[in-house]
Amino acid sequence: MISYMITNYKIDKALSESRIKADIDKAFEMAQKDGGAFSGWALSRQAITAFVVQLFQESVDTKHIVELGGGQSTLFWNALSQVSDLPLRVDTYEHHPQWAAELSQKTAGSPSVQIHHVGLKQFSDETFQSFFQEGVDPQYASLGRDVSDEDAEFTRIRNCFYDLDIQIFKDASIDGLIVDGPHGNGRSLAYPLFAKKLNDKALVLVDDFDHYPFLEDATKVIDYEVMYRNRYKKRWVLLQTL
């Protein structure tokens, strides 16, 4: 089914779809040699392939991607920047210190991929809901408590998000947002935080979209259409802003 969707994309500038998919295959091969098995909690190959093909369907201008939750997909972005002419800028945010350090080491010297090790903040239910109703102040992190590295290991911790500086991103400057972290329902804060930073027709790839009301939360602050929804073993959804 995923192949049918991809073969119906129209890429009308510079590179053909077959060329892009060939580069994607090369990148997966390189990333796997570097430890990217794309199994377990990792984004699936199908999800990444659909994201990349859609991302470059109209042009091959430089695409700015923000990846929330570093992992095996980060190794793919690093590999893709080496094996293809597809111009990328990837900012990856990861709270786990050891994994962030490993990713930084494996992508060291990359002109395209930047790893940001940041802590987590946990918010009260009232504050968490206010972000969707009233918007998010750039100093939002000051309203939460620091989450220890030990507590950050728990996958069900509530209302947590990365302690990042949203002001470094210009409005309408992000072409793709990957929502794959942190653990728990708190990753929905990506929507009010990045809503103004996404450009027209930006892509939002949400992994494990039905573990929490991620899509319902997105509708509170973002207008979008569903490009593809995978409900099988790897459950992910690809959205495009309107």
132-146 residue pLDDT tens: 999 999 999 999 999
**Token pair listed for 101:** 């350090």
Q: What three-state secondary structure class fits 46? A: helix
Lowest mean pLDDT across 28-32, 39-43, 113-117: 39-43
Contact between residue 180 and residue 67 where contact means Cβ atoms under 8 Å apart: yes
How far is it, in rounded angstroms, from Cα 142 to Cα 123?
A: 10
pLDDT digits (tens, 9 = 90+) for 163-208: 999 999 999 999 999 999 999 999 999 999 999 999 999 999 999 9
**What does the pLDDT read at residue 10?**
39
Which domains, and CATH codes, for the chain? 2-241 (3.40.50.150)
* pLDDT for residue 8 is more than 50: no
Mean pLDDT of 54-66: 90
Q: Are 131 and 186 in contact (CB under 8 A)?
A: no
Mapped onto helix, strand or coil, the DSSP state of residue 162 is strand
Torsion angle, alpha carbons of 230, 218, 72, 235, to 10: -20
If pLDDT is split at 50, 70 and 90, which confidence band does 153 have? confident
User: Contact 194/174 with Cβ under 8 angstroms?
Assistant: yes
pLDDT tens digits for 218-230?
999 999 999 999 9
